[in-house]
Structure 1
């Protein structure tokens, strides 16, 4: 992946103010009512100036229950790397839909529209067989990038019942919209738009040799139309008081992804790619609908142990005829020792991740060793030893 040095700079000016206003407390149905607000003015030499707002409310109708809601506007100017990063090349595993050897998705063999569009792009009428699935993709910065902007809503609550000390139940719902998100459109999507829709913008990024062989796809950073994501985070925590056998704890954290839409601009409007529950492919990135982590914890007088379970729900591969990557459950274990008279002075721990050596599911469209390291552990168990000192 040859690349030249990167150099660039910009200037930033910002001003920020926030307000916290407790309105009611210690009254019926209003153990606490509080409003918060913030305003930020930003001026980037590369992206102009903007003003963003944030507001929220915290309400405790009773002491054990807290409800909250917030609205926030966001502004993210492109970074130096995104603006000034020099162009480089990487080889991506791509199945050309214009090839007679491609069997996944809409392709030359199963779709007459794809066949017609491919011929219009220079593929011979008799077709061609792709010689090399590793295609050069041009990546790099873009000095014409504009800033991202976002709007988000979050609603949630925490319940900590007084009759069960140490128990906390929390849930949050989020709805986030990002406008002008900075991304490189996946080369597979670019090819699919060119072959399937004859989209002029997409086809302008594709280069073919005289015989129709796919040789090059441009994937520089750009402001895509946007991202829309929704989901729920649900967590449960319980920790006992100190007993003769020590202290016990349980934590269960869950993330449920209900929507993740990537909106890609096209010559005729936009294309919505729904990512929830899918594998992006190359470059590898998974969007599981459910991820969960459960932790059992025990601390005695001078020893302790932690058992952790990690779950990733099943994922499908749209670029491989919806091949299913089955769900996985990983188990981690740690045993530790610390001096009873001063537990924070010194600590020693032995641990293993992926105790039962669970294998990552095979991924057809992924570009790294046929599995996705963003969602699954590297193959094999991972052992570690850790010592800590406090001076």
Structure 2
């Protein structure tokens, strides 16, 4: 198989703001525009089937292997061929934001505030080098189908840490993921289609974590915490809506699949 390396063109622009009237405040803003060409991957079965039906192209039809009765869906003999090839290109654009601030509380110590977030402006795929405009699709704010795993428009993690002295600190973390809709709800021809009502939308999620660390001695630090304090369940889908990166009926890399959990740890130096 004649695979070639992927190539990428990256444009990034960044700025850092440290206003003199609020000296401990630092704001960083970074714009990114990344285009990857010659993507190594397999042709999505939905795309192969649609193009075979619409054009009769031997390449796409050759990726479909029917059983002796001519069926893809009955029994286990029918399948799609999903070997790695150089496909089309992918372009993503967005903005990364970081905010840091420290507030002195005199005898009560200090507060450290931090926020890191990403705004996704575009996540566009050209499936094959010669794809017509109707086959190019935008996945911002969508999931499932050709879009695969969720592409939320906004994600962030905000932290507030209280440091009363040099031996102890307490941190509250807020994690947010914006809502996404199943790609079949899109008006884009290559994405639109039927879907189960339960799959229509994965609602936004907010998770809150608490953690503390205690320096007992210079060489002994104790840590404890609770993640997902309010035991928020992940948004669920039917298993048929999971295309890429999911597990069962959710996406654990985006949402807390196990609910609230506690952790304890200790670090000892020798």
TM-score range, shorter chain: 0.7 to 0.9
Which of 168, 190, 193 is the aligned partner of 2:26? 168
Shift of 1:254: 1.2
Larger radius of gyration: 1
CA distance in 1 between partners of 2:225 and 2:54 (Å):
51
The verdict on how the C-alpha distance between 1:384 and 1:196 changes in structure 2, with shifts beyond 3 A counting, is: farther
**What's 1:232 paired with?**
95
Shift of 1:295: 0.5
5+ unaligned residues in a row in structure 1: which ranges?
A: 1-142
Please state whether the residue corresponding to 2:69 is helix, strand or coil: coil
Shift of 1:152: 1.2
Shift of 1:300: 2.0
* Structure 2 residue 147 is the aligned partner of structure 1 residue 147: no
**What's 1:350 paired with?**
224
CA contact (8 A) 2:146 2:183 kept: no
**More helix per residue:** 2
CA contact (8 A) 1:155 1:172 kept: yes
Shift of 1:284: 5.5
**What's 2:150 paired with?**
286
**Where has structure 1 moved over 6 Å in runs of 4 or more?**
none
Q: How does 1:26-175 map to 2 (within 5 A)?
A: 143-175=1-33
* Structure 2 residue 168 is the aligned partner of structure 1 residue 303: yes
Q: How does 1:151-300 map to 2 (within 5 A)?
A: 151-214=9-72, 215-241=78-104, 243-265=106-128, 271-280=135-144, 285-300=149-164
Shift of 1:199: 4.1
Which of 316, 323, 338 is the aligned partner of 2:181? 316
The verdict on how the C-alpha distance between 1:373 and 1:186 changes in structure 2, with shifts beyond 3 A counting, is: farther
CA contact (8 A) 1:286 1:374 kept: no
The verdict on how the C-alpha distance between 1:258 and 1:165 changes in structure 2, with shifts beyond 3 A counting, is: same
CA offset digits 1:121-148 (Å, max 9, x no partner): xxxxxxxxxxxxxxxxxxxxxx411011
CA distance in 2 between partners of 1:201 and 1:269 (Å):
16
CA distance in 2 between partners of 1:317 and 1:197 (Å):
26
Please state whether the residue corresponding to 2:106 is helix, strand or coil: coil
CA distance in 2 between partners of 1:267 and 1:239 (Å):
53
Aligned residues: 246
**What's 1:73 paired with?**
none
Q: How does 1:356-371 map to 2 (within 5 A)?
A: 356-364=230-238, 365-366=241-242, 368-371=247-250
For the aligned residue pairs, the C-alpha RMSD in angstroms reads 2.4
Which of 245, 250, 257 is the aligned partner of 1:378? 257
CA distance in 1 between partners of 2:234 and 2:146 (Å):
17
Please state whether the residue corresponding to 1:295 is helix, strand or coil: strand
CA distance in 2 between partners of 1:197 and 1:381 (Å):
51
CA offset digits 1:47-97 (Å, max 9, x no partner): xxxxxxxxxxxxxxxxxxxxxxxxxxxxxxxxxxxxxxxxxxxxxxxxxxx
Which of 214, 217, 224 is the aligned partner of 1:337? 214
The verdict on how the C-alpha distance between 1:179 and 1:262 changes in structure 2, with shifts beyond 3 A counting, is: same
Question: Quick one: higher RCO (CA 8 Å, sep 6+), 1 or 2?
Answer: 2
CA distance in 1 between partners of 2:181 and 2:222 (Å):
41
CA contact (8 A) 1:167 1:239 kept: yes
CA distance in 1 between partners of 2:7 and 2:85 (Å):
14
Shift of 1:198: 4.0
CA contact (8 A) 1:284 1:368 kept: no
